[in-house]
Amino acid sequence: MLFKLAWLSILNRRSTAFLTIFSIAISVALLLGIEQLRKSMRNSFLQTVSGIDLVVGARGDAIPILLYSVFRLGEATNNLRWQSYLEWAADERVEWTIPLSLGDSHRGFRVLGTNSDYWRHYRYGKERKLELKTGEFFDGLYDAVIGSVVAEKLKYQLNQQIVIAHGAGSAALFEHDDQPFRIVGILKPTGTPVDQTIHVSLEAIEAIHIGWEDGFPSTQTGKPATMNISELQPKSITAFLVRLSSRMQTFRVQGEINSFEKEPLSAILPGVTMQKLWQILGTFERTLMTVSALVVLSSLTSLISLLLATMNERRREIAILRSVGAGPQRIFVLLWIEATLLCFVGGLLGFVLQYAGLMAVEPMVKNQFGLQLFLEWPGKEEFLFFLLIMSIGMMLSLFPAWRAYRISLHDGLLPKI
């Protein structure tokens, strides 16, 4: 019966009640939405690549090697010789490798030279393969396969011709415009740096750099049409990814690569390095969480202040209730149920709003920022979150209820307003 009374009381003050519910809903949606974003951000960073045991580059520190090879950020100080790569790729303990060659760009997007091992072996997230949206993987010398963000931002289609620039800047001052590339494939979105990469073959990287030994084009460049593939054996690559046949050999192989006599190389453990990098980025994640928690707290407090403010108007109503026999304890419970109901409805609405909002925003976020939102059905964690918010709301609702209790003790039937 008290529930019905509380419900009718809320209905009576529809507009203010609706405002309160809406403000709670927005902040709950904000909290849950930020939590989703945080998880997606974390996943898209930590799950950029999986199933890799070692990453090998020219001698250097672990974090820069991870950044330029896996995240395509920054530059390597040096390349490593193709011969060294072949020797390690042939090692008994190595199951497969993926060679990577970096250094060029196209309108701000990195160009990656690699071979078919990339398409065969590269995994991200939970064993997800790279898949094509349209077209095929590269076959000819000047074929290029582009990631989804490249296609979206630059509005590229299949069979379009593109020109690759030297270096990583967005304004291409030295272009390889004598050897344009043709887009033969566009990848599905992955939420990893793959989306912002243009993939070409290792041979193509050699081809466009013929005559560029000094770092910029010489006056005589070789005619592309007369070159055959065999002449375009790569001479060096930037890094390679390694998968071992047995994880127990990890330290051993890493140690041997690090003390390789023929060339100074560094083999890093991607898991450990990613975790170190995450320590730095993790503070952003935690700040986000703190901000959203504060938002929810502030809106729950505004609910309480709203209820407290309206307490004055309701003194007559409370007095009337008392006159028909409601004890002060019942008044307390009535007010408490009312506040809790508002919290509950607001929370539910916020929950729904959050999912609707994220679904609406997902395509934009993916295309503009390359961030893949891993939206899933609400799980145990979301449910517990909701319960936690509700319990805090119920706790805070005790204040106006207590106030009403005190008022009802003091006022008579004709309260001095």
In the complex with another protein, which residue's Cβ is closer, 168 or 269? Answer: 269
Which is closer to another protein, CB of 270 or CB of 350?
270
* Residue at 64: amino acid letter: P
Structure tokens given for 106: 């196209």
Written as six digits, the tokens of 232 are 């375009």
- We find the least distance from the C-beta atom of residue 334 to another protein, in angstroms, to be 10
Q: Residue 318 is encoded by which pair of tokens?
A: 């409370």
Site for another protein in 131-160 (CB under 8 A): none
Q: Determine if 9 is a binding residue for another protein (CB under 8 A).
A: no
Work out whether 376 is an interface residue with another protein (CB under 8 A). no
- 189 part of the interface to another protein, by CB under 8 A: no
Minimum CB distance to another protein smaller for 305 or for 329:
329
Nearer to another protein, 227 or 348 (CB): 348
On whether the CB atoms of residues 10 and 17 are closer than 8 A, the answer is: yes
- CA within 13 Å, CB half, 268: 24
176 vs 322, which CB is nearer to another protein?
A: 322
Secondary structure element (H or E) that encloses residue 167, with its range: none
69 contacts another protein (rule: CB under 8 A): no
State which of positions 90-109 bind another protein (CB under 8 A): 91-93
Residue 375 is a binding residue for another protein (CB under 8 A): no
Among the residue ranges 307-315, 317-325, 369-377, 379-387, the one whose residues contact another protein (CB under 8 A): 379-387
Rounded to a whole number of angstroms, the minimum distance from the CB of residue 301 to another protein is 18
- The whole-angstrom distance between residue 161's C-alpha and the CA centroid of its chain comes to 31
Query: How far is residue 185 CA from its own chain's centroid?
Result: 24
* CA gap 65, 69 in Å, rounded: 6
47 binding another protein? (CB under 8 A):
yes
Q: Write the CB contacts of 411 (distance below 8 Å, at least 6 apart in sequence).
A: 315, 318, 319, 322
In the bound state with another protein, the residue whose beta carbon lies nearer, of 154 and 293, is 293
Q: At what angle do helices 328-369 and 315-323 cross, to 10 degrees?
A: 140
d(CA 159, CA 354): 40
Decide: is 126 part of the binding site for another protein (CB under 8 A).
yes
- CA 205, CA 165: separation in Å to the nearest integer? 11
Q: Site residues (CB under 8 A) for another protein?
A: 42-43, 46-53, 91-93, 123-127, 247-248, 250-252, 254-256, 258-259, 269-272, 274-275, 327, 329-330, 332-333, 336, 380-381, 384, 387-388, 390-392, 394-395, 398
